[in-house]
Amino acid sequence: MRVLHIVNDAETGGAQTLIEQLLLSREAGDEAHLLVLLSPGALSPRLEAAATSTTYAGMSRRDVLPVAAVRAVRTLVKRHGIDVVHSHLQQSDLVNALTPHGAVRVSTLHSSLDQASSRVAGIVWRIAAKLSSRFDAVVACSPSARDFAVEFGYRFPGEQIRIVHNGSVTAAEPAPEPSGDPLLLHLGRHAPSKDHPTLFAAFAGVLQRHPRARLVCAGHRVDPENTELTRELERLGIDHAVTLRGSVSDVRGLIRSAHAMVFSSNHEALPMAGIEALGEGLPVVTTDTGDARLLAVEPWAVVPMSDPASLADSVCRLLELGPGQRHELRRRSWELARDEFDIRGAARRYRELYEELTAES
């Protein structure tokens, strides 16, 4: 089986992480090539190490017409004898749908709302929805991602959209709780849907009860150069306790250093970062958006959206558990990853889909 994955960029993100896991999980003798629409990013070394080959189309985020990417897809399909072109995220779907490459077309929906929320991205989403009938299969990472596609007007039949939860590597055992002051982790790009203002306001509440707590945020454009974020931290008086790391490649290292993963999103499907956290036994506290509640092992770890006080209370409840209770929470989080979100299950289902579609073509 020869598969070409297409993704928008090589920055830290759920789609990119899933692609890496699928690349690493391919069967012996298979080829898994990668086309990145933009230029190299923070995850490029990992993606390049996992893929059979990696190509960058060198597009700009402002490009609406993906001429260079269409040309690259046609070249790669012909050069490598590609059987399946599998696109991730709407810009990549547009390229896949527009290119007359002759291979099977597969799309994975990773989100329940346009996280970029720019004019260009909105145009791309609408065009991709109209062209979705050109795909041989559309997969959603969660029921909410499928439901959003139907509501948004995807022409691919909603009842035929398959659900395959994202998967990640589950560690051999839960990582031990780190020593030292409480460290909270948030992984997500800078986008309105991630709702960093709610995250920061909630952490300000946590600091009132746990003044030695720290928050680490990582993701594309979540860095000290982002004045929108730094000004909000200064306004709240919590800049001394928050670190903005930007895009990172060693996500698992960050996860093992933390006491909890916190999500504050107001629109989300099923956060891949949360699945990675569970794989190391890191408990997740999340807002109740999309299917994010599937990542929490306690009802109190799911709170309403845009409610900093509730999010702060939930985080504090976790931090104030006894050592034995926290150990049990980590064990249950790890078991959830092992039973529901292990990459081997996701890779097997995608491989079965590829085989089914190529047999029909």
pLDDT for residue 120 is more than 90: no
Q: What is the CATH number of the domain that holds 162?
A: 3.40.50.2000
Give the mean model confidence (pLDDT) for residues 278-288. Answer: 99
89: CB partners within 8 A, 6+ apart: 7, 8, 15, 110, 111
331 and 350 both lie in a single domain: no
Q: Of 54, 13, 17, 19, whose CA–CA distance to 37 is shortest?
A: 54
Q: Which residue has the tokens 């065009």?
A: 127
200 and 55 both lie in a single domain: no
Q: Does some domain include residue 356?
A: yes
| HEC assignment per residue over 17-82 | HHHHHHHHCCCCCCEEEEEECCCCCCCHHHHHHHCCEEEECCCCCCCCCCHHHHHHHHHHHHHHCC
Give the mean model confidence (pLDDT) for residues 202-231. Answer: 98
pLDDT of residue 62: 74
- The tens digit of pLDDT for each residue in 128-159 reads 999 999 999 999 999 999 999 999 899 999 99
pLDDT of residue 125: 84
Q: Does some domain include residue 178?
A: no
158 and 203 both lie in a single domain: no
Domain containing 44 equals 2-167+342-360
98 and 245 both lie in a single domain: no
203 and 157 both lie in a single domain: no
Q: Does some domain include residue 56?
A: yes
pLDDT of residue 249: 87
Confidence of residue 113 (pLDDT cuts 50, 70, 90): low
State phi, psi for 252 to the nearest 5 degrees. Answer: -65, -35
Q: Does some domain include residue 148?
A: yes
236 and 123 both lie in a single domain: no
Instruction: Tally the domains of the chain.
Output: 2
Q: Does some domain include residue 335?
A: yes
Query: Are the C-beta atoms of 248 and 12 separated by less than 8 Å?
Result: yes
191 and 161 both lie in a single domain: no
pLDDT of residue 215: 99
pLDDT of residue 118: 64
Query: Are the C-beta atoms of 79 and 98 separated by less than 8 Å?
Result: no
78 and 155 both lie in a single domain: yes
Q: Does some domain include residue 310?
A: yes
Q: Does some domain include residue 174?
A: no
pLDDT for residue 234 is more than 70: yes
85 and 187 both lie in a single domain: no
Among 12-16, 33-37, 102-106, 259-263, where is mean pLDDT lowest? 12-16
Q: Does some domain include residue 73?
A: yes
199 and 243 both lie in a single domain: yes
- The tens digit of pLDDT for each residue in 157-189 reads 999 999 999 999 999 999 999 999 999 999 999
Between 118 and 222, the more confident residue is: 222
What is the torsion angle, in degrees rounded to the nearest 10, for the CA atoms of residue 254, residue 257, residue 260 and residue 264?
A: -30
pLDDT for residue 264 is more than 50: yes
327 and 206 both lie in a single domain: yes
pLDDT of residue 361: 76
d(CA 214, CA 216): 7
Among 125-129, 276-280, 281-285, 329-333, where is mean pLDDT lowest? 125-129
Q: Any bridge partners for residue 139, and if so which?
A: 108, 162
pLDDT of residue 115: 46
- The tens digit of pLDDT for each residue in 15-48 reads 999 999 999 999 999 999 999 999 999 999 999 9
Task: Say if strands 260-263 and 242-246 run parallel, antiparallel, or are unpaired.
Answer: unpaired
251 and 135 both lie in a single domain: no
- The tens digit of pLDDT for each residue in 53-72 reads 999 999 987 765 789 999 99
**Percent of the chain beyond pLDDT 70?**
97
